Amino acid sequence: MKKTKEVKVVDLFCGVGGLTCGLKKAGLEVVAGFDSDETCKYAYEYNNKAEFVCADISNLDSKEIAKYYKKDDIKVLVGCAPCQTFSKQTNKYKDRVLDKKWTLLNYFAEHINNIEPDIISMENVPELIKFDIFDNFKNNLIEKGYYVSYQIVNCSEYGLPQKRKRLVLLASKLGQISLNKPNPRKRKKNVEDVLKGLPPLEAGEINEKDPLHRCPKLSDVNIKRIKQSKPGGTWRDWDEALLLDCYKKPTGATYSSVYGRMRWDAPSPTMTTQFYIYGTGRYGHPEQDRALSLREGAILQTFPRNYKFVKDGEQITYKVLGRQIGNAVPVDLGKIIGESIQEHIKINCQ
Of 121, 118, 104, 125, residue with least CA distance to 19: 121
146 burial type by CB count under 10 A (0-12 exposed, 13-18 middle, 19+ buried): buried
97: CB partners within 8 A, 6+ apart? none
Amino acid occupying residue 194: V
* Residue 83 a catalytic site member: yes
Q: Residue 117 and residue 272: Cα distance in Å, rounded?
A: 31
Contact 194, 299 (CB under 8 A): yes
Could you tell me what percentage of the chain is helix, strand and coil, using 3-state DSSP and rounding each to the nearest 5?
Answer: 40, 15, 45
Contact 318, 294 (CB under 8 A): yes
Phi-psi region of 70 (alpha: psi -120 to 50; beta: other; left: phi over 0): beta
Q: Residue 36 and residue 148: Cα distance in Å, rounded?
A: 28
Kindly list the strands in the beta sheet with 147-154, ordered across the sheet, starting from the edge strand earlier in the chain.
51-54, 29-35, 7-12, 74-79, 119-124, 165-172, 147-154
Contact 309, 324 (CB under 8 A): yes
Residue 10: Cβ within 10 Å count? 27
Amino acid occupying residue 156: S
The torsion angle over the Cα atoms of residues 235, 240, 242 and 247, rounded to 10 degrees, is: 50
User: Residue 193: enclosing H or E segment and its boundaries?
Assistant: helix 191-195
Residue 300: Cβ within 10 Å count? 26
**Catalytic choice (21, 40, 83, 215):** 83
Question: Mind giving me the DSSP string for 290-304?
Answer: SBPPHHHHHHHTT--
Tell me the catalytic residues.
Answer: 83
